[in-house]
Amino acid sequence: MFRLVSAAAATPESPVTDPAGASSAGHVRPGGTGGSADAGGRADERPGLWRRYPAATALVVYVLLRLSGLVILAIFAHRAGADFWSLLNDRFDARWYVNIAEDGYDTGLTGDHPYMKSKLSNLPFFPLYPGLIAAVTAVTPFSAPVSALIVSWTAGLAAAWGIYAVGAHVASRRAGLILVALWALLPHAVVQNMAYTETIFTALVAWTLYALLRRQWLTAGLLCLVAGLSRPTATTVAAAVGLTALVAIVRRQDGWRPWAAAALSPLGYLAYLAWVSDRLGRVDGYFHLQETTWRIGFDGGVSTFTTFKRVLTEPENLALYMSTLLMGLAVVLIALLVSHRYPLPLLVYSIAFFVITVGTENYYWAKGRYLVPAFTLLLPIAVGLAKARRTTLLAVLGFLLVVSGWYGTYLSLVWRASP
| Model confidence pLDDT, tens digit, residues 289-313 | 998 888 888 989 999 999 999 999 9
Residue 157 — pLDDT band, cuts 50, 70, 90? very high
Distance CA 379, CA 279 (A): 41
- The percent of residues in the chain predicted with pLDDT above 70, rounded, is 88
* pLDDT at position 9: 47
Burial of 43 (0-12, 13-18, 19+ CB in 10 A): exposed
Task: Quote the CA–CA distance of 68 and 397 in Å, as a whole number.
Answer: 12
CB atoms within 10 A of CB 41: 11
DSSP 194: S
104: left (phi over 0), alpha (psi -120 to 50) or beta: left
Rounded CA separation 319/411 (Å): 8
C-alpha 67/C-alpha 65 separation (Å) is 5
Task: Convert 54-89 into a string of H (helix), E (strand) and C (coil).
Answer: HHHHHHHHHHHHHHHHHHHHHHHHHHHCCCHHHHHH
Distance CA 219, CA 394 (A): 36
Q: How far apart are CA 329 and CA 349, in angstroms?
A: 16
As a whole number, mean pLDDT of residues 313-327 equals 93
pTM (2 d.p.): 0.90
Answer whether residue 2 shows pLDDT above 70: no
Pairing of strands 110-113, 118-120: antiparallel
Within its chain, how far is the Cα of 240 from the centroid?
15
Query: What sign does the dihedral 248-251-257-261 (CA atoms) show?
Result: positive
pLDDT class for 222, splitting at 50, 70, 90? very high
Separation CA 240–CA 376 (nearest Å): 12
Q: What is the DSSP string of 252-306?
A: T-STTHHHHHHHHTTHHHHHHHHHHHHHHTSTTHHHHHIIIII---B-TTHHHHH
CB contact set of 210 (below 8 Å; sequence gap of 6+): 4, 8, 12, 162, 165, 166, 169
- Check whether 5 has a pLDDT greater than 80: no
Alpha carbon distance 354, 359 (integer Å): 8
pLDDT tens readout for residues 122-148 = 999 999 999 999 999 999 999 999 999
The band of 12, judged by pLDDT with boundaries at 50, 70 and 90, is very low
